[in-house]
Every structure is written in structure tokens, then in C-alpha cells.
Structure 1
């Protein structure tokens, strides 16, 4: 990985810009064996990845526990580990985001990750009204004062939520969907995040696998894979699945993007390098189900910057085919 490290907002740490998103090794992406999950993590860490992103609901803690096991096996310097809290609430309401509930979730994550102090806890896409709740951010400050978390941030669905979140002085990071099929964050939010020195964590960078270029109209997904059961937002926000783009539209867009991929690399690596062209993006967090996928993601760190012609062509595909379906929604 030859791309230089980027500052993680105001946290005082630099991280390699290609991280590891640990949703897939937890659940709702089809079957991933524990051996494959561990091999994917080892491969990412061997490549130089030093930022891991997980959540307490990924496999009901499975993802967090696998990370703890792999880090214990490796020893040495520990990567930066970000997790999330809040989606264990049922019902998932703004009133549930209170000190008592968050402390319970965080204590569970501390146990799963075998960490006394969590590096970064992100509110896990809370209801929009939560971003105006001073008591919620006071609760996070209390948990910092107790030494249970070192830093806190937010994971958001909507740009308006991200812009509200960074008004709170303690928010160190915003995790947001950013990829060639979700380009609106660059319009204004990224500039505001840079001005506030807030880290931007780019999630769903491959649009749930669409931007690997490996899917087709015949692709099949397991019943427990969200790409099968959440295409229209049946279980959670539809923007989490294929970035909210209708599947047939996305496949057509992929074919238009395919000629832009430089020779000798993959569409996945190209798509990740595209995400990192904006200097506001701190780290991109692609998932991987096995070591080969993790190594493929890491290879994006060796790609040269994309030229202006390529960037303009990718923007044209977005403007013509994708934006009418997604740009106004998030």
C-alpha cells in the first residue's frame, strides 16, 4: 500500500486510507466461515491496513469477537478499531439513545473486543432527530470521562444528518456512503468536514459489490444476504443495499464504467481509488469475505491518481444514469 496515511480528523493519529469494513464477516452477506473471516482480516492487516470498522450488531457481536481473536493472535501494534452502537435498540427510536442504553451497548462491545477503552464509538444511523439531542452528546461525553470510549462519531444515512452532527464539538468522525453511485457528499458536506477537521469514513464504497463488476442479471444472493431481502428497504434503509440504485440501472452503469478501468487492475480497486481522489475522505472501508478479496481491496493503494478525463467520465455516468434515482433521497 503506497498511498500515504491520512490524518484521522483531530484524533491525533494517521491511518492508511484503505481500511477494512467488518460487516461481511459478521452477517447478512451470506455464509462466511470463521476461517475465511480471520483470513480476510489477516490479509488486510498484512497489507498495511490499520483501521478496522465494525458494529455490535454485525452478527450479534460475531464481527467484534473475530477482530479481538485475530488481534490477540497477532500481538504487536494494534490497529485503530471503530465500532458502532444503537442498532440493538428495539424499537429503534431516538428516545432509546440515552446514557443507560449506550453504556450497556458499549460495555458489551468492550467485552467483545477485549478493550478497556474503545478507540471510536459511532452512533449507528440513529433517527434524524437524534442529531439535535444535547442529552445524547452529553451522554457520550460522560462515557469518555469514564474512560470507556476515547472518541465518538456518527454513522449517517443522510447528508443533512452529517452536517448537523459536525456542529457538535465532540464529534470526531462521520461515516457516510460515498462511491461512484453516491456522489452528493462532495457537493458541500466534504468541504464542511474538512473545515471542521472531522474524519470522513467512506462506507459502502463498492455499492454492495456492484462496483466490483462481477455481478450480472443472473447473480443469486443467499436468503440471509441483505442484497436479497433489503433491496427496497424492507429491513433497514434501502440506501445500504446497492446504494439505493435499482439493480438493472446499476448494471447498465457498471458497463459504462468498465472501459475507464486502467489496464492491469480490477474494477473494485479502481472504484476504491476513485473514492480516495477527494482529499476530504480519510479512509475507505470495503468489506471482504476472504483473503483474496482483502488483498484485492488493498491493491487500490498502489494505483496512481485517476486523471481528470476519467473522473469526468465517471461523473457523467452518475449524472445521466444514477443521480435521478438517488441524488435527492440522501
Structure 2
């Protein structure tokens, strides 16, 4: 079993495993999942040394938090660093309400109350708005989060998918532990201005989508059928010529991985972790076998020569298609 190293999220955040577990797929957006296997995977992750578990109150409209809460009842609370997002709103049929997101000060306190109950805990380690609402000053949202931190209901304040400018404004109100943002070999936008701003301010980065929704897993097949609620059915990178081009990039990465005795996904995860001691990688494993494969990335050291090989296989900006459909992309502060 791999040894999971720890890193501190920024200068004020908690110490977390270099690989964390993103739990969204256990409840939502990636097709059917087995609940018992999900709980077994959560336990296996913690047993292996993963302490960072990421969720959102809107994942499965609360189901994901209840799933994690079920797991927490069988663990010591201090074994887990819980990262929770709020703000996205759902509809009874499982859809999402149109933006803007509700990240008002009142929503901070209301949504937090429900999360604490579903998770069965009296505090959340990192609490963060899932997206920015341009009609609500980020200072107001962070100010309410600071009140909840001072009251002991949350330990740290995080951000998600916001620009360098917004990060600076938020950090002027309260210490920020980390920014959660999509970052992978196929999504390198944060390198331009966001990562430099984080490092200037002493804020960590929690990378999600490190396997680009499964594209970089080495397990994706072009003829895979997607169910109606699978996010990837409408993702530009999984459509037609885009998918063919992206799988060509993955094939090139797979050849690099094979030369180094690793799997494609392990190299993709290790690449993210190699981009700085202030970065941790979230993997979205829903089954123990996929988790086991991802865990091995923690012991994979990529030297300069291997990193250069990876860069040649998937150069920055080579991904075909945007990471979200146009309406979703337009709502992201991080893309502005």
C-alpha cells in the first residue's frame, strides 16, 4: 500500500494528504453508483492514509453528505478533513437551477446548518462557496464565513473557481486556506495568473478533475455509452472529433507511463502533485479498485526527464474542447 504524504494547505490551512478523495461521483453526475461500495471506498481511503474528503451540499441534493456522515459514524472525527462546498441550487427532478449561485451571508449560515446535520458533525474543516455570484460581493460571503469560523462551526475558509482578482479581495477579509479549481494535464488555465496569485498570498490549491473526468484514466473507450445524468454526455471534450483528439493525447501519455512502469492515471495524478508542494490532488474514485490504482500515484516520483516527456505527450493548451459547455464556462469567475 502506498504511503500518503501530507502537505499543508497554504500558510493557514490544515495538513492534508497529497491525494484527497472527491466524493461527488458516489451520488451524482457520473452515472449509477453502488452505495455499499461507495461507503467501502470511503473507509478504504481513510485506512490508506487519505484524510481529505471533498463534497458539496448539492451533490445528490444532500445524499453525498449523508453518505459521508454514515461513514464518519464509524470513524474518529479527527481522521477526516472535510471540505464542503455550498451555493449551487437543485431542482426536484435532479437538475440545477440557473445561476446565479446563492452565496449570500444568509445562505452561508442556512446551508451550513443543514450540512452539519447531514454529516453528523459539529464542525466542518474547510467550507467554501462553490462559485462566485457577481451580484454578491465576495467580501460579504467571506465575511459571513469568518463569523462562522469565529463561532467554531468551520475551521478554515476556502474558495472555488475564482479569479486572481477575486482571490485577492477575499484574502483581504479573512485568511484563505486554499482554492479548489480544475487543474490537470488537459486543464492548465490556472497556471497563467491564478497559481502565481495563490503563491504570493500563501494560499494552497486543491486540484479537482485531475483525470479530466475520466479522459486521463487510461480506461476510457470512444464507444462508451453515457446515461442521461452523466455530466460527460454534454461535455465538449467528450464529443466527436474532440474526443478522438483527446484520446490521441491520452495514448501518448500512456506510452510514457508504460515506459516508467506506471498506469496512465497514476502518471496524470503524480504530474499534478509534482507541480508544487502547495498543491493537492483530488481523485474521484467510486470503487476500491480504482482507488487502489490512484493511491499508487503517491509513491510515483517524476524526475525532470519524465516531466519533459509528459509535456511532449500533452503540451499545455493541447486539449480539444472546453472543460465545460459554453453557458457553464461563461459563469466561471476563474475564466475571466
TM range (shorter): 0.7 to 0.9
- 1:158–1:30 Cα change, 3 Å: farther
The 1:267–1:167 alpha-carbon spacing in structure 2 relative to 1, beyond 3 Å, is farther
Residue segments in structure 2 that go unaligned for 5+ positions in a row: 91-96, 324-328, 330-334
The residue number in structure 1 matching 2:268 is: 271
> Number of matched residues?
315
Residue among 263, 270, 294 paired with 2:291: 294
| Equivalent residue number for residue 310 of structure 1 | 306
Aligned residue number for residue 260 of structure 1 = 256
C-alpha separation in 2, matches of 1:164 and 1:98: 16
Question: How big is the shift at 1:25?
Answer: 0.8
Q: CA deviation at 1:224?
A: 1.7
Instruction: Give the corresponding residue for 2:20.
Output: 19
Work out the CA distance in 2 between the residues paired with 1:147 and 1:122.
15
The corresponding residue for 2:31 is 30
| TM-score calculated relative to the size of structure 2 | 0.85
Q: Distance in 1 between matches of 2:72 and 2:177?
A: 24
Q: Following the alignment from structure 2 to structure 1, what is the Cα–Cα distance between the partners of residues 285 and 146? A: 33
Structure 1 residue aligned with 2:149 = 144
Contact 2:116/2:124, CA 8 A, preserved across alignment: yes
Question: For 1:122, which of 128, 135, 139 is the aligned residue?
Answer: 128
Distance (whole Å) between structure 2 residues aligned to residue 253 and residue 157 of structure 1: 28
1:51-95 CA-to-partner distances (Å, cap 9, x unmatched) read 11000011111111111111211337421011011012745326x
Partners of 1:181 and 1:138 lie apart in 2 by: 34
SS in structure 2 at match of 1:19: strand
User: Structure 1 length as normaliser, TM-score?
Assistant: 0.86
Distance 1:309 1:273 in 2: 14
Backbone CA RMSD of aligned residues: 2.6
Give the Cα–Cα distance (whole angstroms) in 1 for the partners of residues 251 and 162 of structure 2. 27
Query: C-alpha separation between the residues in 2 aligned to 1:260 and 1:165?
Result: 40
Tell me the residue number matched to 1:236: none
* Pair 1:219-2:216 in alignment: no
In the alignment, which of 182, 191, 196 is matched to residue 177 of structure 1?
Answer: 182
- Secondary structure of the corresponding residue to residue 56 of structure 2: coil
Label 1:222 to 1:323 Cα distance change in 2 as closer, same or farther (>3 A): closer
Contact kept, 8 Å, 2:146 with 2:174, in 1: the verdict is no
Shift of 1:165: 4.3
Cα deviations across residues 20-68 of structure 1 (Å, max 9, x unaligned)?
Answer: 0011112111111111111111121121101110000111111111111
Structure 2 Cα separation of the partners of residues 99 and 76 of structure 1? 27
Encode CA deviations 1:259-299: one digit per residue, 9 max, x unaligned.
11144321111110000111154321111111111111111
- Structure 1 unaligned blocks of 5 or more: 233-240
Between 177-186 and 308-317, the greater mean CA deviation after superposition: 308-317
Q: Which residue of 2 aligns with 1:109?
A: 115
Q: Is the 8 A contact 1:191 1:280 kept in 2?
A: no
Aligned pairs (5 A) from 1:127-206: 127-128=133-134, 130=136, 132-156=137-161, 161-162=166-167, 165-206=170-211
Distance 1:100 1:37 in 2: 32
Kindly indicate whether the alpha-carbon contact (under 8 Å) linking 2:8 and 2:278 is maintained by their aligned counterparts in 1: no
User: Hey, what's the Cα distance between the residues in 1 that align with 2:68 and 2:104?
Assistant: 27
CA distance in structure 1 between the partners assigned to 2:105 and 2:169 by the alignment: 20
CA contact (8 A) 2:6 2:18 kept: yes
Moved more, 194-203 or 138-147: 138-147
Cα shift readout 1:200-258 (whole Å, capped 9, x = no counterpart): 10111000001011112212222221111x315xxxxxxxx76xx93222112111211
